[in-house]
Amino acid sequence: MNLADTIRTIPDYPRKGILFRDITTLMGDARAFRRSVDELVHPFAGAKIDKVAGIEARGFILGGAIAHQLSAGFVPIRKKGKLPHATIRVAYSLEYGVDEMEMHKDGVLRGERVILVDDLIATGGTAEGAVKLLNSLGAEVVAACFVIDLPELGGADKIRKLGVPVRTLVQFDGH
């Protein structure tokens, strides 16, 4: 099975010239979803992973499944104003502007080993912000995992420069 074949491409969304890579079709295919989770988990099987941090919203779906497979806890990283308890926040760059995301201050403990998960890495702004949040609480970000990489946009390299290994399953040229 070629995972790329299970990902829908939507032209001109959210704006003209963009090819949006939609993993809802991959997640709707039981075999493709299972294979994606298994392939993202594989390098960490048997390793001590304390938490999986998932970026809103598709990172929640993948991250929950990965946390389950690794017998780890799950930590949501959300857009500002969505979490009910004391939070820490960071601003991050998007391909189309700037936003803020946050997580609970008690979401990770100092020294915990964490894997960061989202569906796609493009420019890397969101993932970079998430790594900074986790690091600010003293977590060790063991890896950042994504189903899709858009390598021309340089996001995976940006995360590697932060000292975090990046795992991706599918690459698409263009954006």
Residue 173's pLDDT is 87
Instruction: Report if residue 42 sits inside a domain.
Output: no
Give residue 131's domain range: 48-171
Instruction: Report if residue 13 sits inside a domain.
Output: no
* Active-site residue list: 58, 95
Query: Is the pLDDT confidence value at 95 over 70?
Result: no
Omega into 14 within 30° of 0, i.e. cis? yes
Confidence of residue 96 (pLDDT cuts 50, 70, 90): low
The closest alpha carbon to 53, from 40, 66, 37, 43, belongs to 66
pTM over 0.85, yes/no = yes
Instruction: Report if residue 134 sits inside a domain.
Output: yes
- Check the CA dihedral 90-133-80-97 and report its sign: positive
Spatial distance between the Cα atoms of 52 and 101, rounded to a whole number of angstroms: 17
Instruction: Report if residue 1 sits inside a domain.
Output: no
Q: In CATH, what number is assigned to the domain containing residue 123?
A: 3.40.50.2020
Which own/partner contact pairs does 19-23 have at CB distance under 8 Å and 24+ positions apart? Answer: 19/172, 19/174, 19/175, 21/120, 21/148, 21/150, 21/172, 23/58, 23/119, 23/120, 23/147, 23/148
The domain tally of the chain equals 1
Instruction: Report if residue 77 sits inside a domain.
Output: yes
Instruction: Report if residue 4 sits inside a domain.
Output: no
**What confidence tens digit (pLDDT) does each residue in 30-85 have?**
999 999 999 999 999 999 999 999 999 999 999 999 999 999 999 999 999 999 99
Instruction: Report if residue 27 sits inside a domain.
Output: no
Residue 93's pLDDT is 76
Instruction: Report if residue 39 sits inside a domain.
Output: no
